[in-house]
Amino acid sequence: MTKPVIGFIGLGLMGGNMVENLQKRGFELVVMDLNKDAVKAVIDRGNAREATSPKELAAASDIVMLCLTTSDVVEKLVYGDNGILAGIKEGAVLIDFGTSIPASTRKIGADLAAKGAAMLDAPLGRTPAHATDGLLNIMVGGDKATFEKVKPVLEEQGENIFYLGALGNGHVTKLVNNFMGMTTVCTMSQAFAVADRAGVDRQQLFDIMSTGPSNSPFMGFCKNYAVDGVSDLGFSLNNANKDLGYFLKMAEDLGTRAEIAEGTSHNLQAAVDAGMGNGNVPEIFDYFLKLAK
């Protein structure tokens, strides 16, 4: 069976590695990114070319993949002049691998369906290193027949593929997951800071907490920074802050309120406002430590 042509927009650390993996597996790529060095790296590997507009990329692709930063960016690429919606082929599939607002995803999906195309939301778990080897976790929402159609391609990109039902459910799940994870990191980082103020040794606190049910990989990341000064959770405060904002918007759209998320969001926003946004999330410990002093 002939492999589908894949259009890919967003060649950052995650997206660039995903494209490298697809190239190693023999797919033809049409790509776009503002970073021309990233585009050149893809083209130099072969069997790839650069599109001059999202419309051109969509018209040349059987599957359009996005790995972008925000819902606003996704909407601009879909709806803008010479956008994806203007060029996408009947029967083509758009896959959004980013973390987006579910209501936005569902709107785009409906507009694509009106043109005979389909959409899946497929946010990612794991790291860019996993992307290079095709070992991501992928959470997929959308029409089941569309999912089955592109599943062989997703299986080239992910070790664990989770089908979650209706369009938008992938983004819902990712936002819930990130709410849980980032709240955990903020809580543990603040625990280290308050313990420090109270005169309790941070290493001893970790030794005690890690022997009980609070132990988790996230605790390890927090300890690595608060105790050892090693920042090794590759997820920025800026990204965490954005995702918590999306989680709160989702809760609002659902007619509910998430007060714990509001607290996490307040702390993340304060750390970003303090100029820490490019740091990894456990570095919020430094913000809490200043408060504790």
| Catalytic annotation, residues | 174
User: Could you give the CA distance from residue 269 to residue 263 in angstroms, rounded to a whole number?
Assistant: 10
Question: Could you identify the residue written with the tokens 């790529």?
Answer: 29
Residue 273's closest CA among 284, 263, 282? 284
User: Could you give the CA distance from residue 209 to residue 195 in angstroms, rounded to a whole number?
Assistant: 12
Taking a C-beta distance cutoff of 8 angstroms, is the pair 191, 197 a contact? Answer: no
Taking a C-beta distance cutoff of 8 angstroms, is the pair 58, 7 a contact? Answer: yes
Q: What is the largest CA-CA distance in the chain?
A: 66
> What per-residue string of b and e applies to 206-220 under the rule 16 or more CB within 10 Å gives b?
beebeeeeeeeebbe
Residue 58's closest CA among 110, 93, 34? 93
Give me the residues paired with residue 161 across strands: 138
CA distances from 174 to 34, 66, 125 (A): 26, 16, 8
Give the 3-state DSSP-derived string for 217-272, with helices as H, strands as E and coil as C: HHHHHHHHHHCCCCCCCCCEHHHHHHHHHHHHHHHHHCCCCCHHHHHHHHHHHHHH
Residue 123's closest CA among 82, 190, 80, 181? 181
